[in-house]
Structure 1
Amino acid sequence: MSRNVMLVPAGKTTGIFTASLGLVKALNDNGVKAALFTPFYSCCGKECSTTSLNKCCAAKKLSEGKKTEVIEAIVANYNALKDANKYDVIVIEGVTDAPFNVNEINAEICHAFDANIISVVSGKCKCAKSAIDATLLYFGNAGKNQHLGTILLNEKAPKDAKGNKKLVLSGCGKCCGSACDAKKEDAVLTDFIANVNFDMAYYAPRAKDIAQFIDAKIASGDENVRAFKVSLSNESANEKSVLVTDTLPAQTSAKIVILTDGVSGSVDGATVITSEKPMWSVAQALADFPAQLRDDEEQKKLIEENASKDFDAKAINLIKNLEEKATPLMSPAAFRSKLTALARAAHKKIALPEGDEPRTVCAAAKVAEQNIAVPVLFGKKDKILEVAKAQGVTLGENVEFVDPDSVREKYVDRLVELRKAKGVTPEQALEMLQDNVFLATMMIDSKELDGLVSGAVHTTANTIRPALQVLKTAPGAKLVSAIFFMLMDEQVYVYGDCALNINPTAEEISEIAIQSADTAKAFGIDPRVAMVTYSTINSGKGPDADMMKEATALVRAKRPDIAVDGPLQYDAAVMPDVAAQKAPGSPVAGKATVFIFPNLSTGNTVYKAVQRSAKLVSIGPMLQGMKRPVNDLSRGALVDDIIYTVAVTAIQATQVKD
């Protein structure tokens, strides 16, 4: 499994691709197989696709509230890189110079890959330390616990009149920073990993890059010649200049000449770019030329060869000796990506009995469009299509429809057989099959469908009762329980039981804990089970505390492979500092991922309070212990909740053992 290291820009730091390329080359030169992952391409006119995201396209999606879509696309691209080869380390380049909040997006990316953090800063002064601290706040626990140190980048790059580092078309390059970087402040930052030096050649654009940036044309000359500074008069121009002028010079030392205001002509020995824009407009645009890596193999190789020398053995060994995480944190983005990938591979048919319910129709459209599963909508097709039109969605060819009136009688005899011990007659069976949930359950029993999701308008009892009567429990299951996947900021948690068992016994709670731990593991979450109540270990007494203590002992006896502890208060289960005081030495406290509650009143209240207050996605309730997957929805379920519950159900269907 690859270790992930993310370079995170702090403050006004830009141009970090020099550090990224240099670090990857240095790692490979020292026997560490490394690759560079860049989440976004620069805004260079390319359209976004499923494999290519540019910053402008991402900004548009983010402004439309589609952050989840953006992060999942990044995760998919990362997985394609990781799966293409086995790397020891993947260096993730943090986002800079983008038209959105880069700190928020960098934090999301970091959490998605459970990456260690190396901050990148452009100065040693006190303001740099403040910038790093402010940036790391966005990263939550990762910012506190996974920060390896700092790379100093372009410390001696020239600055503009505002005191900002100017990397591109930056003049002579002999300026050495401002008074803010005086040596007396060097001790402010002490965790330096490397000092990546400034070189004008790392950022020098070619004539064709300049022409593209100012939307102009190359009239003559070599499109690959480079410029290092801007000159506005022919007298100050030299061979490193791009001369911007509104008059045709007779001769010039500049290698690139931009003729503005519609002036045309050729200049001996120079590449000529012509623009209809006024001179001041072109000069102003060039002042904002971004520091970004383009499709430029020559420049890339130059950076790799030279910047790699700025990383010494100390820096390489710090990364080389990182411990490989047996089970990395499962972030919401990684979890959603895993769900959709596994569901696509399963290609199951999932029944949606509430076929004309608007949220369900919207979810079905997206499920089909993303090939997560084949949604099967129950109801009159014409009515369902009217709902889809009203919701502004299209139900394509991957959506199937079941008209209950045309198929109901097929399942009467089978239902009579299954319920003969209860004396069900054919007439009663036909009446029972008026319920679409019951009908869909019978189709699952006949293996025409693979699973069921309901509850947007039905109660939990309406959804589960037919399954318990027809499908029964899975072999070896002593009860059916319900969990929620809670997609917190940095980690996905499992909460159980929050929907089904009202007042379970200690024995039943131990079974719920075991089922929940196995479910967590099946979905890639490292199960560390906290038996949650109002007491931590021996700090309090009472029926719930005693019951959770007994249930903990039962889990340990039945399944010694499961990391479990309890009773634990919620804060002791999730907060390392509280755990150190209340439950020192606990294998679970401070790092729990599975939370088992003493009764339905507690579990249901906690899950809804967390979901609504934190405005996060919760997936579930997912039923555990059923012979075939049937999952309930909260009646307040959002479209995304339904989509991911369908994905979970499709994955469960692959685990069915007849």
Structure 2
Amino acid sequence: MTRSVYVTGIDRGDGRQVVELGVMELLTRQVDRVGVFRPLVHEGPDRLFELLRARYRLSQDPSAVYGMDYHEAATLQAEQGTDELVSRLVERFLSVAREYEVVLVLGTDYAATQLPDELALNARLANEFGASLIAVVGGRGQTAESVRAEARNAYRAYEALGCNVLAMVANRVAPEERDRIAERLAARLPVPCYVLPDEPALAAPTVAQITHALGGTVLLGDDSGLARDALDFVFGGAMLPNFLPALTPGCMVVTPGDRADLVVGSLAAHSAGTPPIAGVLLTLNERPSQEVLTLAARLAPGTPVISVEGNSFPTAAELFGLEGKLNASTPRKAETALGLFERHVDTADLLDRLAVARSGRVTPMMFEHELLEQARAERRRVVLPEGTEERVLRAADVLIRRDVCDLTLLGDVDLIRKKAADLGVDLSSAQLIDPATSELRQDFAERYATLRAHKGVSVELAHDVVTDVNYFGTLMVAQGLADGMVSGSVHSTAATIRPAFEIIKAGPAGAAGAKAAGAASIVSSVFFMCLADRVLVYGDCAVNPDPDAGQLADIAIQSAATAARFGVEPRIAMLSYSTGTSGSGADVDKVREATKLVRASRPDLLIEGPIQYDAAVDPSVAATKLPGSEVAGRATVLIFPDLNTGNNTYKAVQRSAGAVAVGPVLQGLRKPVNDLSRGALVGDIVNTVAITAIQSQVPSDAQEFSA
């Protein structure tokens, strides 16, 4: 069983941080406590560790991460030999390994280290640490044959030195050669060789990195603008009509500071989305007038305008030498890197080869990782009606970079593009639709009018109704043009789910007669409550104010199915203020009756009720109140008797216990539509979209909506 993984290379410039980040992502899906160890480190901040610490909420003391610096190591090796160097590094590694279930080891970087035979040192350290090894070779600027030869030679070198080589990675290869290289390496190496193409967005410096490197001054722009990647540099010297066609998406415009026409023209083009630019860099320490800067700020709010002292030629020389870096201040690059890793690495196979024992605990991070992985496994399309909302656009950016699902965004297309450009979000792979001008509008109006004819809805009225983004998005789902919908960040719950009730509707079966496939008489909801060491499912906390016994039974069955779908073994607690036979009254009787209905309909489900919350989740209380129960003290699905109790409880646990609440997740609809809290954060939206995509992967016998 793997206790440590050593990621290394054979030379500098291989971009292995992408692989190190990807392996860390895999490990944290399986294990609660992952440690990091870098045997040798340069002076100054360690960008990658700071990224790992921020992204994965590592509590590890930074002083325990490092063995020693390169200068100390080179001196020790020269004076006392390699054995002494290795001995001290092993001692420091073991102090980390004792504290963590698995350790990710970051090998040396071959950058001015003054260490002889660095490859052999990495191999020996991997062996002494008892670590499995993943070796990375860089392919930028190399021919396909050269990459193949380097990968084969690297494998042979590490294997000859006794290393347990788990896999090889050829990184930064020419995209057009990627498939051919992968095919040939698969036939020539005894271990998997994953081939990652060069990704321009990873190599591109951000505007903030450019500003720092050149000692620039920020005249305009916000943090979001400074985080944009500069994918290209366009140098302005021509007159505006000749200059504008030279602009490229994501470019940094470099122009003398006295060219106000190029500044205003570039920002106007950005505002129109033709094309969106990264920002404007002004040379010669010349700055436009305040009037021009005020106009620029109004044209493209948030877009950076930076001033530097040098003239264009030396500035150009510095710019072309800059390369983007993964660090804690570039979270979007991290999403891009992980998306690249997950697209081109068989992560399931690599996890099998790592053979890391999964933790018994399920942490919030592990649950969130699993959501994205499940969604990605069987690709679906999710429609987001609130396409002009900033949080939705930022969530779309994460989903696209991580390659989680296909997206459709609804709203005024020009406004969506403008807001996306201002945020630096690339929506080129997303579908954008304006319901008011869509060719689908008339067809949707006719179908909606037919469906709601019994309510007196005419085609003329329906023609207006379907321009509402929630109705339009729901009709897309009903018609199979999207697999699910997520809304509610700026709309009320009623506005989000009313169209689903009217168009998609609940399943056909009755409450206690609901089938295992998930048919339902009512629509209900659950929250996934991610506690420090487990995930609980709460239902119903968002939809039904006071369900009767049959409806409560239906909610329990649906919640158990939802829990199982997302990897939570369902053990149902039907909550009440009374446990077992200790109390009576209408409220307790309702819960008792609902429990009987579930047992009669689904004898395969583990269920207990009525039961109090403490007896449901605390083994010591359960041993006193319900000894011998298969559910008491171990409940994972907690069904509340009414909305008042459920809604207040989930919020109390969320705020007081620091739980991550994912939801509400609607259940019982023929096709998935999910509601967001209007206070939803970007991460909440990402999780809800992933859940919606996973829900749509379940085969359904529901009929397509038709007139």
TM-score tier by shorter-chain length is 0.5 to 0.7
Cα distance in 1 for residues equivalent to 2:370 and 2:115: 49
Residue pairs, 1:494-509, within 5 angstroms: 494-509=537-552
Partner of 1:416: 449
Question: What code does the residue aligned with 2:386 have?
Answer: E
Shift of 1:329: 5.0
Residue pairs, 1:478-489, within 5 angstroms: 478-489=521-532
Cα distance in 2 for residues equivalent to 1:611 and 1:350: 27
584-593 or 543-552, larger mean C-alpha shift:
543-552
Question: What code does the residue aligned with 1:609 have?
Answer: A
Shift of 1:229: 9.0
Cα distance in 2 for residues equivalent to 1:333 and 1:229: 35
Cα distance in 1 for residues equivalent to 2:637 and 2:115: 63
Cα distance in 2 for residues equivalent to 1:229 and 1:332: 38
| Residues 326 and 530 of structure 1: CA distance in aligned 2, closer, same or farther (over 3 Å) | farther
Q: Does 1:52 align with 2:5?
A: no
Residue pairs, 1:118-267, within 5 angstroms: 212=70, 214=72, 216=74, 226=84
Residue pairs, 1:17-416, within 5 angstroms: 35-38=1-4, 49-53=17-21, 72-76=25-29, 212=70, 214=72, 216=74, 226=84, 295-296=124-125, 299=128, 329-390=361-422, 392-407=423-438, 408-416=441-449
Cα distance in 1 for residues equivalent to 2:86 and 2:26: 36
Q: Check conservation: 1:549, 1:566, Cα contact below 8 A.
A: yes
Cα distance in 2 for residues equivalent to 1:228 and 1:344: 42
TM-score (norm 1): 0.57
Give the CA RMSD over aligned residues: 4.3
Cα distance in 2 for residues equivalent to 1:273 and 1:346: 47
579-588 or 392-401, larger mean C-alpha shift:
392-401
Cα distance in 2 for residues equivalent to 1:332 and 1:383: 35
Which one of 587, 590, 609 corresponds to residue 633 of structure 2?
Answer: 590
TM-score (norm 2): 0.53
Q: Does 1:612 align with 2:655?
A: yes
Shift of 1:515: 0.7
| Residues 382 and 577 of structure 1: CA distance in aligned 2, closer, same or farther (over 3 Å) | same
Q: Check conservation: 1:611, 1:617, Cα contact below 8 A.
A: yes
Question: What code does the residue aligned with 2:27 have?
Answer: I
Question: What code does the residue aligned with 1:531 have?
Answer: M
| Residues 410 and 395 of structure 1: CA distance in aligned 2, closer, same or farther (over 3 Å) | farther
Shift of 1:225: 5.7
Helix, strand or coil: the match of 1:539? coil
Shift of 1:331: 3.4
| Residues 432 and 532 of structure 1: CA distance in aligned 2, closer, same or farther (over 3 Å) | same
1:79-109 Cα deviation digits (max 9, x unpaired): 9xxxxxxxxxxx98756799999xx99x999
Which one of 451, 464, 487 corresponds to residue 454 of structure 1?
Answer: 487
Shift of 1:574: 1.1
Partner of 1:513: 556
Q: Check conservation: 2:579, 2:625, Cα contact below 8 A.
A: yes
Cα distance in 2 for residues equivalent to 1:511 and 1:95: 47
Helix, strand or coil: the match of 2:584? coil
| Residues 39 and 528 of structure 1: CA distance in aligned 2, closer, same or farther (over 3 Å) | farther
Q: Check conservation: 2:86, 2:125, Cα contact below 8 A.
A: no
Question: What code does the residue aligned with 1:355 have?
Answer: G
Cα distance in 2 for residues equivalent to 1:453 and 1:301: 46
Cα distance in 2 for residues equivalent to 1:640 and 1:326: 24
| Residues 525 and 213 of structure 1: CA distance in aligned 2, closer, same or farther (over 3 Å) | farther
Shift of 1:542: 2.7
Cα distance in 2 for residues equivalent to 1:645 and 1:228: 48
Shift of 1:490: 0.8
Q: Does 1:648 align with 2:696?
A: no
Larger Rg: 1
Cα distance in 2 for residues equivalent to 1:467 and 1:394: 29
Partner of 1:557: 600
Partner of 1:148: none
Helix, strand or coil: the match of 1:510? helix
Aligned length: 422
Partner of 2:182: none
Same amino acid, percent of matched pairs: 40
Q: Check conservation: 1:220, 1:273, Cα contact below 8 A.
A: no
Cα distance in 2 for residues equivalent to 1:301 and 1:629: 47
Cα distance in 1 for residues equivalent to 2:18 and 2:69: 29
Q: Check conservation: 1:327, 1:526, Cα contact below 8 A.
A: no
Question: What code does the residue aligned with 1:432 have?
Answer: V
Shift of 1:508: 0.8
Question: What code does the residue aligned with 1:576 have?
Answer: P
Cα distance in 1 for residues equivalent to 2:612 and 2:37: 41
Cα distance in 2 for residues equivalent to 1:326 and 1:565: 29
1:526-565 Cα deviation digits (max 9, x unpaired): 1111111222222333322221122112111111111111
Partner of 1:532: 575
Partner of 1:172: none
Cα distance in 1 for residues equivalent to 2:476 and 2:686: 21
Question: What code does the residue aligned with 1:534 have?
Answer: Y
Partner of 1:631: 674
Cα distance in 1 for residues equivalent to 2:679 and 2:128: 54
Cα distance in 2 for residues equivalent to 1:329 and 1:490: 5
Shift of 1:409: 2.5
Cα distance in 1 for residues equivalent to 2:25 and 2:87: 40
Question: What code does the residue aligned with 1:397 have?
Answer: S
Cα distance in 2 for residues equivalent to 1:345 and 1:217: 50
Q: Check conservation: 2:504, 2:669, Cα contact below 8 A.
A: yes
Question: What code does the residue aligned with 2:393 have?
Answer: V
| Residues 333 and 418 of structure 1: CA distance in aligned 2, closer, same or farther (over 3 Å) | same
Shift of 1:339: 1.2
| Residues 223 and 497 of structure 1: CA distance in aligned 2, closer, same or farther (over 3 Å) | same
Contiguous gaps of at least 5 residues in structure 2? 40-45, 89-113, 133-356, 510-519, 702-707
Cα distance in 1 for residues equivalent to 2:624 and 2:131: 53
379-388 or 621-630, larger mean C-alpha shift:
379-388
| Residues 441 and 583 of structure 1: CA distance in aligned 2, closer, same or farther (over 3 Å) | same
1:130-166 Cα deviation digits (max 9, x unpaired): xxxxx9xxxxxxxxxxxxxxxxxxxxxxxxxxxxxx9
| Residues 227 and 73 of structure 1: CA distance in aligned 2, closer, same or farther (over 3 Å) | closer
Q: Check conservation: 2:531, 2:658, Cα contact below 8 A.
A: no
| Residues 299 and 602 of structure 1: CA distance in aligned 2, closer, same or farther (over 3 Å) | closer
Contiguous gaps of at least 5 residues in structure 1? 1-34, 54-68, 80-90, 111-134, 136-165, 169-208, 231-271, 275-291, 304-324
Cα distance in 2 for residues equivalent to 1:229 and 1:49: 26
Q: Check conservation: 1:621, 1:633, Cα contact below 8 A.
A: yes
Helix, strand or coil: the match of 2:428? coil
Q: Check conservation: 1:445, 1:470, Cα contact below 8 A.
A: yes
Q: Check conservation: 1:628, 1:653, Cα contact below 8 A.
A: yes
Shift of 1:211: 8.7
Question: What code does the residue aligned with 2:507 have?
Answer: A
Q: Check conservation: 1:37, 1:93, Cα contact below 8 A.
A: no
Cα distance in 2 for residues equivalent to 1:217 and 1:600: 68
Partner of 1:437: 470
Shift of 1:656: 4.0
Cα distance in 1 for residues equivalent to 2:681 and 2:131: 51
Q: Check conservation: 1:327, 1:525, Cα contact below 8 A.
A: no
